[in-house]
């Protein structure tokens, strides 16, 4: 009897690939219920078929697929926090600016208030001094009113004298056009 042909490394690889392919096909059918078994069967089959470089590339791709969403999420969170910090700094700066401006306004207000207080105190002192001396407050004089009446009366007299009964005709003649006497020829 002849000895069965010996299965070399390529033959063993093909047998192993056939076994892994059937396992992958069964796992593909049950992919919805057992996704981990599918991934394991796929990795085993393609690693043996394509080599370690495929396995390295596939693991890198899976890692990127898992890490990229996390990096995006952390980047968005960082940007959100950075924007919040910038807004907070802007609000703080605005408050600091407002306080700086307010200090000047408060100083001006205090100065004006102190000046008003001084004037009020002076008025109070004057009032108290008048009460203590019991000097009556002088009433307004009626003399200027008499002068006004007298001036008005004098103006009326002067107008009458200037434009009086006798002189009125003279003034009218002065302002009227000259009369023309007809000359006969």
pLDDT digits (tens, 9 = 90+) for 41-58: 888 888 888 888 888 888
Q: Count of alpha carbons within 13 Å of 146, Cβ hemisphere only?
A: 4
Tokens of 148: 């006004």
Tokens of 85: 């910090």
Single pTM value for the model: 0.37
Q: Is the dihedral of CA 106, 109, 111, 117 positive or negative?
A: negative
Tokens of 32: 């919805």
Unique residue bearing structure tokens 């390529």: 10
Tell me whether residue 21 is in a domain. Answer: yes
- Choose the weakest-confidence range: 8-22, 35-49, 51-65, 161-175: 161-175
How many domains, in total, are found in the chain? Answer: 1
Q: What share of the chain in percent tops pLDDT 90?
A: 5
All residues at 6 or more sequence positions from 139 whose CB lies less than 8 Å from its CB, including other chains? none
Tell me whether residue 149 is in a domain. Answer: no
Confidence band, pLDDT 50/70/90 cuts, at residue 154: very high
Structural domain of 41: 11-50
């Amino acid at each position: 009897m002849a000895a069965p042909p010996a299965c070399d490394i390529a033959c063993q690889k093909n047998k192993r690939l056939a076994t892994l392919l059937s396992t992958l096909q069964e796992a593909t059918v049950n992919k919805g219920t057992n996704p981990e078994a599918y991934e394991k069967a796929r990795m085993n089959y393609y690693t043996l078929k394509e080599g370690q470089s495929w396995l390295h590339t596939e693991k890198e791709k899976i890692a990127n697929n898992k890490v990229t969403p996390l990096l995006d999420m952390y980047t968005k969170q960082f940007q959100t926090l950075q924007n919040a910090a910038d807004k907070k700094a802007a609000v703080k700066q605005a408050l600091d600016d407002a306080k700086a401006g307010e200090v000047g306004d408060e100083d001006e207000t205090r100065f004006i208030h102190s000046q008003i207080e001084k004037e009020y105190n002076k008025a109070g002192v004057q009032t108290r001094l008048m009460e203590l001396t019991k000097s009556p407050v002088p009433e307004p004089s009626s003399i200027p009113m008499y002068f006004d009446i007298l001036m008005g009366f004098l103006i009326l007299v002067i107008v009458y004298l200037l434009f009086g009964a006798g002189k009125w005709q003279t003034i009218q003649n002065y302002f009227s056009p000259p009369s023309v006497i007809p000359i006969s020829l």
